[in-house]
Amino acid sequence: MKRRGELSFEGILGVAFISLILATAIAVAQFYKARNPSDPENHDITASYNVILTTLREDAQIAAVAEVASDSFTLYNSQSDVISRYAFIGGNLHRFDKSEKGEILLKGVESVFFKTGDELPNLLTVKIMPIDRMDIPFFTSFALRGINHDLN
Amino acid sequence: MRDIIVCMKMSLKNRPARSHPRSGTSLMELLLALAVLSAAMYPVVFIFRIGNPPKQTNHQEYTATLLAHHVIETIVARRAVNPSYLPAMSEPEPVVESAEHVEPVSQYFRNISANNDSITETNDSQLFWTLKPFKCQIDTYYLDGNLFKAIVYITYQREGRTMKVFFERLLPQKALDVNGEGEE
């Protein structure tokens, strides 16, 4: 005699199987979400910073001089030819190559600070403050190796 | 022979009647198959995850990497100006100036603000609070073949543990003659 409210063995098994299927579906959905960089919730500023780091490192390998202004700097090689120009325009960080073809490296920038030292004119320090205060600032330096290739 | 046939007919009649498969059993089999298939996805997903290393999303680790990059690049720039320059060994030192720190600011972070000072809470609040947990330590080694090894450690605390990010660089050093003067 089955008591009121009592589940059959098949019912319990069914609930267990459905729970397993649901758990798997949630796990796979979360995995997909974590792996999908286009999802705005997974916005990671370090991906954009990696692009800036890589681009600036490549330019610094051949740059000999950096001409710094308040919101921009231009890199020149040892023959005083322009390599690239980086500029903070309208809340975005742009890079312009020698033919002035521009690309946006980072959006949502609050302020930038570029500096070369008096003692070390061949060291370019870059600071980028994002608008979103939850994001980390970008702060590092780049040695301009264009004068002395032995440094590479 | 006739008796045998009669017995066979009897035995067929006495065979318990097979119940028709109930719809509940079919549903259970379907659910079981789905559950097994679902469970089989775990290792597939796991292997896929192992095959694709996760992105570097730890912001503290990323900032430490940028700071270590800053120190190494400063050493490279100093050697470009003065080829005999070799970095000195140092204890873990803060990278920003704070009243809480008794140690002096690391020499690689003393002139990094707009007015050629260390970063303080007053001159750059946001960067100050970002960089405050980090310390910079330099280890140096003399190696065979007139080589000098500099290792830059950026340390920070994470969940009660001291984490380290380090960059190292081999630097050719000048051979010292008897007068202590360097030569290439």
* pLDDT of the residue at A4: 65
Q: Tens digit of pLDDT for each residue in A104-144?
A: 999 999 999 999 988 899 999 999 999 988 899 999 999 99
CA of A20 vs chain B CAs: smallest distance (Å): 6
CA A76 to chain centre: 25
Residue that wins the pLDDT comparison between A108 and B26: A108
H-type helices in A1-126, by residue range? Answer: 9-35, 45-62
Q: For residue A85, count CB atoms less than 10 angstroms from its CB and return exposed for 0-12, middle for 13-18, buried for 19 or more.
A: buried
Assess whether pLDDT exceeds 50 at residue A19.
yes
pLDDT digits (tens, 9 = 90+) for B142-181: 998 889 999 999 999 988 889 999 999 998 876 544 444 4
Count of CB atoms situated within 10 Å of the CB of A104? 13
**pLDDT of B8 strictly over 60:** no
Substitution target from A36, A140, A151 for chain B, most B beta carbons within 10 A: A140
B121-138 pLDDT per residue, tens: 999 999 999 999 999 999
Distance CA A142, CA A126 (A): 8
The Cα–Cα gap between B99 and B113 comes to: 18
Interchain CB distance below 8 Å, A21 and B130: no
Q: Do B24 and A148 touch (CB under 8 A)?
A: no
Q: Mean pLDDT lowest for which of A48-52, B16-20, B51-55, B67-71?
A: B16-20
pTM for this model (two decimals): 0.71
Q: With CB atoms and an 8 Å threshold, state whether A136 touches B63.
A: yes
Is A94 in the B-facing interface, judged by CB distances under 8 Å?
A: no
Tell me the residue type at A102: G
Find the residue in B nearest to A60 (Cα).
B73
* DSSP letter (8 states) at residue A26: H
Cα–Cα distance between A52 and B63 in angstroms, integer? 14
Nearest CB to B114 within list A28, A113, A119: A113
Does position A69 have pLDDT exceeding 70, yes or no?
yes
Q: What is the arrangement of strands in the sheet containing B90-94, beginning at the earlier edge strand? A: B90-94, B135-143, B147-158, B161-172
**Closest to B127 in 3D by CA, of A115, A127, A71:** A127
